[in-house]
Amino acid sequence: MRGSVGHRSVDSMTVPQITLDDGVQIPQLGFGTWQIPPAEARDRVAEALEVGYRHIDTAQMYGNEAGVGEAIAASGLARDEVFVTTKLNNNRHAPEQVGPALDASLERLGLEQVDLFLIHWPLPMIEIDYVDTWRAMTEVLADGRARAIGVSNFQPTHLRRIIDATGVVPAVNQIEVHPYFAQDDLREFGASLSIATEAWSPLAQGQVFDDERLAVIAERVGRSVSQVVLRWAIQRGDIVFPKASSVPRIAENFALFDFELSDEDMAAISALDEGRRIGAHPDEMDWVPAD
The answer to whether residues 203 and 241 touch, using CB atoms and an 8 Å cutoff, is no
CA-to-CA dists, residue 279 to 56, 65, 80, 176, angstroms = 21, 22, 33, 7
Q: What are phi and psi of 24, to 5 degrees?
A: -65, 130
The answer to whether residues 147 and 169 touch, using CB atoms and an 8 Å cutoff, is no
The Cβ-side half-sphere exposure at 284, using a 13 Å CA radius, reads: 4
Is 62 labeled as catalytic in the residue annotation?
Answer: yes
Catalytic residue among 53, 62, 130, 180: 62
Angle, vertex CA 37, rays to CA 116 and CA 61, nearest 5: 45
- Please list the alpha-helical segments (H only) found in the chain: 38-51, 65-75, 95-109, 130-142, 156-166, 184-192, 212-221, 225-236, 247-254, 263-270
Write b or e for each residue in 244-283: b if 16 or more Cβ atoms lie within 10 A of its Cβ, otherwise e: beeeeebbbbbbbbeeebeeebbebbeebeeeeeeeeebe
Map 15-62 to HEC letters.
Answer: CCEEECCCCCEEECECEECCCCCHHHHHHHHHHHHHHCCCEEECCHHH
Catalytic (active-site) positions: 62
